[in-house]
Structure 1
């Protein structure tokens, strides 16, 4: 309940009291307003053993107890050009590989996979680590990111989004960490970036540390960005609900396609060495 509604409620109760009470009871009633709780940084730590982990050591398709799929086309709200299918992901030689291809499916000219964590692969506060090697090529748009399980505050962007890693192929090696919400979203999302020259040739560690006080992004254990809870409610902090992880390669789109799509780049892959979720130690 916001403050204006709280004041209105108190006013209504006050009127009701004086209408139904004794006429000679003129004692003033001052409404009590409870201020929002201010969140302080308690220096939360994280458990050292992950409660959800996939090392991708079993060849074949991803474990259906841990992973599901977002399938189909339609642009996904970003004018993307790919059709998502489970056929473009596989595990072999200790890594998970998502492949974006130049092929026709569902009325579109490219295919890819959008993998979604499920089961225990959800959290409210904690640490997520993903070690990955990113695709290359103009028109590619790989992402390691998080969305809410139930959209407690309404549709995007009101319920939030955490982009642990995004890179667009026309700007190779410039890797972005961003958060989105009702107040800050789209091109106005809050975040920062770091140049990782070998992002598409070597594995790097992409991480988020998420507490009630702040969301912090790290690349190879170096802090990239901090977004602090300003106690403004869900408009700026919808991050008090469970989120799950997504891994995908988009093609084209409102950001990834700004310089067109280089068809000679396909097929191209995102390789993932492991995914770890750690619980926050509450205080």
Structure 2
């Protein structure tokens, strides 16, 4: 069923060409040639469609971390199927209020975080992730990239690219952010947000895209570009550093932290970040 859905999506994307051809046949008795597309075509170099029944460990590593992910987050990251699994054609990262423990350390919440480090590392390209987001006060999903080699030093001197992050208490808005400059606390960042014209990101799947070139990055949601960035800097090297090195992808679902605050009585658990596919083009 999922493969049929993806085929339907591709056919829908080609619908304008099909309609032009049919119109030409009706009016002129012959098909009109579609307009030439002069945009350079990128090649799919890495992808995961999550069509199987388990995570592909040749593509993903799973975080096991009893102390969250920093930023005063409240979750413990585990590799349990309760927190990380593939089912019904989707990656599921699930946040739970279950007092899970690792190596004798218990935390109130548990969740999942995966990465492509040393399995998928790229310099420049287009990253597309189709996902459905969770909802609720204190819920913090993210699709982001970190440097594989830390060529310019510790965070954030070597950079961080946030393709999508989101506060569960404002479910109609996502953000795209860059972190750069020097090592903490000499770092800085730039950010912009995109709001849905109607509905929320928790109601259906959306495609989050980063187009990353040597001196330009463009963030899009469902094909709508909402941010273009051409200015950043590094304390260690000339522009376009630090974003001239290889980066890897991370997907995670955090609970709490300075960005979103703690869950409250209105926050329902479990919450899920569902990912339909990840595709990287160069």
Short-chain TM bin: 0.7 to 0.9
Partner of 2:177: 178
User: Residues 212 and 269 (structure 1 numbering): CA distance in 2 closer, same or farther, change over 3 Å?
Assistant: same
Partner of 2:214: 212
Pick from 253, 263, 266 the counterpart of residue 249 of structure 1: 253
The answer to whether structure 1 residue 143 and structure 2 residue 142 are counterparts is yes
Shifted more, 125-134 versus 178-187: the winner is: 178-187
> Structure 1, unaligned stretches of length 5 or more?
1-42
Pick from 59, 65, 76 the counterpart of residue 72 of structure 1: 65
Instruction: After TM superposition, give the deviation of residue 237 of structure 1 in Å.
Output: 3.3
Report how many aligned residue pairs link the two structures.
234
The answer to whether structure 1 residue 86 and structure 2 residue 88 are counterparts is no
Pick from 28, 49, 59 the counterpart of residue 55 of structure 1: 49
The answer to whether structure 1 residue 157 and structure 2 residue 151 are counterparts is no
User: Residues 46 and 86 (structure 1 numbering): CA distance in 2 closer, same or farther, change over 3 Å?
Assistant: farther
| Matches of 2:149 and 2:177, distance apart in 1 | 21
> Structure 2, unaligned stretches of length 5 or more?
1-37
TM-score (norm 1): 0.76
The answer to whether structure 1 residue 270 and structure 2 residue 263 are counterparts is no
User: Residues 237 and 46 (structure 1 numbering): CA distance in 2 closer, same or farther, change over 3 Å?
Assistant: farther
| Matches of 1:45 and 1:239, distance apart in 2 | 22
| Matches of 2:229 and 2:184, distance apart in 1 | 13
| Matches of 2:154 and 2:183, distance apart in 1 | 14
Instruction: After TM superposition, give the deviation of residue 46 of structure 1 in Å.
Output: 5.0
Shifted more, 189-198 versus 240-249: the winner is: 189-198
Shifted more, 103-112 versus 137-146: the winner is: 103-112
Instruction: After TM superposition, give the deviation of residue 190 of structure 1 in Å.
Output: 0.8
Instruction: After TM superposition, give the deviation of residue 204 of structure 1 in Å.
Output: 0.2
Pick from 218, 221, 229 the counterpart of residue 223 of structure 2: 221
